Amino acid sequence: MDVDTLVIGAGFGGLACAALRAAAGDRVVVLDRAAAPGGKARTVPTPAGPAQAGPTVVTMRPVFDALFEAVGEHLEDHVALSREPILARHSWRDGTALDLFPDPAASAAAVDAFAGPREADAFRRFAAEARALFEAFDRPMMRAARPRPARLLAAALSRPRHLGALLPGRTLQGALDARFRDPRLRQLFGRYATYVGGSPRLSPAVLGLIYHSEASGVWRVEGGPSAIAAALAGLVRRRGGTLRFGEGAARLLVRGGRVRGAVTDESRTIRAAHTVFAGDPRALSEGLLGEAARPAVPRRAVEPRSHSAHVWAFAARATGPELAHHNVFFADPEEEHAALGRGETPRDPTHYLCAEWGGTPKPDPPLRRFEIIANAPPLPGGTTEESASCHSTMLRSLRAHGLRLDPEPPPPTTPRDFAAMHPGSAGALYGPSPHGSWAALRRPRARTPMPGLLLAGGGCHPGAGIPMAALSGRHAAEAIGTGRTSPSRSRPGATAGGTWTPSRKTGDGAAR
């Protein structure tokens, strides 16, 4: 079988690339061993319906608006989205709680009531810096297929007031310690490092920009983010592409140093002008797709690994405190990050809980869908006993906050389970570690040293999370398009090129 573009992996990176290339007229085939599209954005069945077991909402919505518009469609025609009125509800065991909101003034007022006017002023400065950092890094880093240090430095110098956050060795924890006096606020904003699988003590201060990406809009999707993945899969099919679920790639076809397709698990040979690997790029460096493909990804680009997690997805009745859609139940940050640094499962981690209906428990509530996430080390790290104990730890931790679940959730998905689901990942959910000043620049790019092979997905540039994975797919699609010498076969209104179209909903073309 001969195709123009073969995509291995139907996560957001692979699907974004496949949709763009199919819209440009390519003959596209997508392979994935899973039974459905979405990659890490997956669901599990429960008595109350499918529960999310991966990402729960969408940020940086213009990335998806632009992606759908690039193939001649509109996002809201395919999925129903609603903007969350509360970014997250944060709770501590001393009984205090803090909500953050899309409106910065409302968040500042909440911080004032929570910790006083001095901390509210510190929050306003933090929010302004997060916005400036995001705007400085949007084009030269996230949307650039090949980010260059010189361009990043120029962007930083354009906002010298915020240059301190970019200094080598400046960590997120150090920046927060200098900004906030209240340890609860340092813990809250330090949690942004865990969004990309790191510790605030070792991750660069620039990760504070994640606050701005959330404050710019957290969008709930009816059916969860996996509904966007299903919509993208539908776009690939409608534009003539083929998706094969339950069938992966056993090895890449490499001849004369060029990748020329793959042999599937079913021993089918698919010859392709371009092959896009949208799994964890560490699988290539480990030789899991054949020894000949190892040179495509140097080990230094995928090591060390990010954190993993224990993830519960289930249905239960909840009684106790009022829940928002996003809830964070804080524990001891010192113990948690020290244990993770040693490669051990924390004895008392913070727990994120998504109440997927986003409502308040009633005196006699029906079964509702939940997802709970706690940080854990990748493999090797942690033991079977530690993974088993994390279940009882989670229940005790939530009870300490007054929350009870009935019936108790089933055991979690563990780092070992994630390692099996995502070959080569070592169970790390976010790809390479974000630790160190230049970690983001070490990630593999869309173009590889091997002709005919490109990369997409959260394990490569620009990073973890479904908006970033989608951008990686766009980078791969554009690399294929610009690498062609034949005339474009694009359909009208369907380009895989570098235009950044504004959202009909936001009117803003910048990724957020």
The more confident residue out of 150 and 362 is 150
Distance of alpha carbon 445 from alpha carbon 450, whole angstroms: 12
Which pairing describes strands 326-329 and 351-355: parallel, antiparallel, or unpaired? Answer: antiparallel
Range among 403-407, 502-506, 508-512 with highest mean pLDDT value: 403-407
Distances (CA, A) of 236 to 229, 242, 274, 298, 342: 11, 7, 17, 31, 44
Amino acid at 362: K
What is the reported pLDDT for 135? 87
Could you tell me which residues come within 8 angstroms of residue 356 by beta carbon, excluding any fewer than 6 positions away? 51, 52, 56, 224, 325, 368, 369, 370, 371
Q: What is the dihedral of CA 276, 280, 283, 289, to 10 degrees?
A: -30
Residue the block writes with tokens 């929010």: 127
pLDDT at 443 over 50: yes
User: What's the average model confidence in pLDDT over 206-224?
Assistant: 95
Domain identity same for 399 and 417: yes
Contact assessment for residue 448 and residue 312, using Cβ atoms and an 8 Å cutoff? no
**Helix ranges restricted to H, 79-224:** 104-115, 117-137, 149-157, 172-179, 183-190, 210-215
CA neighbor of 90 nearest in space, from 80, 82, 100, 81: 100
Domain identity same for 132 and 201: yes
Residue 443 token pair: 């990630």
CA neighbor of 221 nearest in space, from 35, 40, 71, 76: 76
pLDDT category of residue 437 using cuts at 50, 70 and 90: confident
Distance of alpha carbon 172 from alpha carbon 199, whole angstroms: 9
Residue 283 lies in a domain: yes
Domain identity same for 387 and 464: no
- Helices 61-70 and 12-23: crossing angle, nearest 10°? 30
Tell the burial category of 340 from Cβ atoms under 10 Å away from its Cβ (0-12, 13-18, 19+): buried
pLDDT at 501 over 60: no
Domain identity same for 165 and 232: no
pLDDT at 53 over 90: yes
Distance of alpha carbon 282 from alpha carbon 222, whole angstroms: 33
Tell the burial category of 182 from Cβ atoms under 10 Å away from its Cβ (0-12, 13-18, 19+): middle
What is the reported pLDDT for 164? 66
What is the reported pLDDT for 163? 62
Residue 413 lies in a domain: yes
SS3 166: helix
Residue 462 lies in a domain: yes
CA neighbor of 124 nearest in space, from 191, 179, 87: 179
Range of the domain at 349: 307-421
pLDDT at 494 over 50: no
Domain identity same for 332 and 390: yes
What is the reported pLDDT for 250? 98
What digits encode the pLDDT tens for the residues 297-311?
Answer: 999 999 999 999 999
Amino acid at 129: E
Domain identity same for 189 and 250: no
Report the 10 Å Cβ neighbour count for 149: 10
Domain identity same for 448 and 472: yes
Longest distance between any two alpha carbons in the chain, whole Å: 68
Residue 51 lies in a domain: no
User: What's the average model confidence in pLDDT over 109-135?
Assistant: 96
Could you tell me which residues come within 8 angstroms of residue 40 by beta carbon, excluding any fewer than 6 positions away? 11, 54, 55, 422, 429, 458
DSSP string, 365-413: ---EEEEEEEEE--SS-S-HHHHHHHHHHHHHHHHHTT-EEESPPPPPB
Domain identity same for 292 and 311: no
Domain count, the chain: 3
Q: Which of 215, 233, 263 is the last residue of a domain?
A: 215
User: What's the average model confidence in pLDDT over 211-229?
Assistant: 96
What is the reported pLDDT for 148? 76
User: What's the average model confidence in pLDDT over 103-112?
Assistant: 97
Residue 67 lies in a domain: no
Residue 471 lies in a domain: yes
Distance of alpha carbon 512 from alpha carbon 426, whole angstroms: 30
Contact assessment for residue 84 and residue 220, using Cβ atoms and an 8 Å cutoff? yes
What is the reported pLDDT for 481? 93
pLDDT category of residue 357 using cuts at 50, 70 and 90: confident
What is the reported pLDDT for 504? 40
* End-to-end CA gap in the chain: 40
In percent, the amount of the chain with pLDDT more than 70 equals: 90
Could you tell me which residues come within 8 angstroms of residue 281 by beta carbon, excluding any fewer than 6 positions away? 296, 297, 301, 302, 424, 431, 444, 455, 457, 459, 460
Residue the block writes with tokens 């859609």: 325
Residue 262 token pair: 């793959």
What is the reported pLDDT for 143? 83
What is the reported pLDDT for 358? 53
What is the reported pLDDT for 144? 86
pLDDT category of residue 408 using cuts at 50, 70 and 90: very high
Domain identity same for 209 and 128: yes
Domain identity same for 162 and 178: yes
User: What's the average model confidence in pLDDT over 466-473?
Assistant: 97
pLDDT category of residue 377 using cuts at 50, 70 and 90: very high
Q: Which of 180, 215, 250 is the last residue of a domain?
A: 215
Domain identity same for 475 and 415: no
Could you tell me which residues come within 8 angstroms of residue 361 by beta carbon, excluding any fewer than 6 positions away? 317, 318, 319, 320, 322, 323
In percent, the amount of the chain with pLDDT more than 90 equals: 81
pLDDT at 462 over 90: yes
Residue 291 lies in a domain: yes
Q: Average pLDDT, whole number, for the chain?
A: 90
pLDDT at 482 over 50: yes
pLDDT at 134 over 60: yes
What digits encode the pLDDT tens for the residues 315-343?
Answer: 999 999 999 999 999 999 999 999 999 99
Q: Which of 151, 180, 215 is the last residue of a domain?
A: 215
CATH code where residue 26 lies? 3.50.50.60
Residue 58 token pair: 């969408």
Residue 284 lies in a domain: yes
Domain identity same for 186 and 111: yes
